[in-house]
Amino acid sequence: MIGNNVGIAQNCFIQVRGNVFIGNDVIFGPNVRVFSENHNFSKKNIPIKLQGETRLDVIIEDDVWIGANATILGGVRIGKGCIIASGAVVNKNVEPYSIVGGIPAKKLKPRF
């Protein structure tokens, strides 16, 4: 589901194997990637490609800006009003009105 007034720049990739919810007034910079599925790999006697996948929802709440080349992984909820720095890899939930960056993404500071 994609909300109203969402801007998606060039070369973005949104994988919708699991559910992806994008709120209103969200901005995607160029080359943003959203993944909602991951491969299972716990059995060493079975090739990874044969072990199936796990689908995990991604929720991006209203008024979020995701910078260029950021990656959002499955199971993540990004709270309202957040800024995701360019190049960040978000693998955990982000509190509302936070600015995060890095690999893996960590809170840099509150937005206000």
The residues annotated as belonging to the active site are: 39
Distance CA 108, CA 84 (A): 10
Q: Where do the domains of the chain lie?
A: 1-57
pLDDT of residue 46: 97
Q: The pTM is what? A: 0.94
Tokens for 71, please give them: 């990656």
The model's pLDDT over 20-78, given as tens digits with 9 standing for 90+, comes to: 999 999 999 999 999 999 999 999 999 999 999 999 999 999 999 999 999 999 999 99
The identity of residue 67, as a single letter, is: G
pLDDT digits 0-9 by tens, 66-112:
999 999 999 999 999 999 999 999 999 999 999 999 999 999 999 99
Q: What is the predicted pLDDT for the residue at 108? A: 98
With 0-12 / 13-18 / 19 or more C-beta atoms within 10 angstroms meaning exposed / middle / buried, residue 1 is: exposed
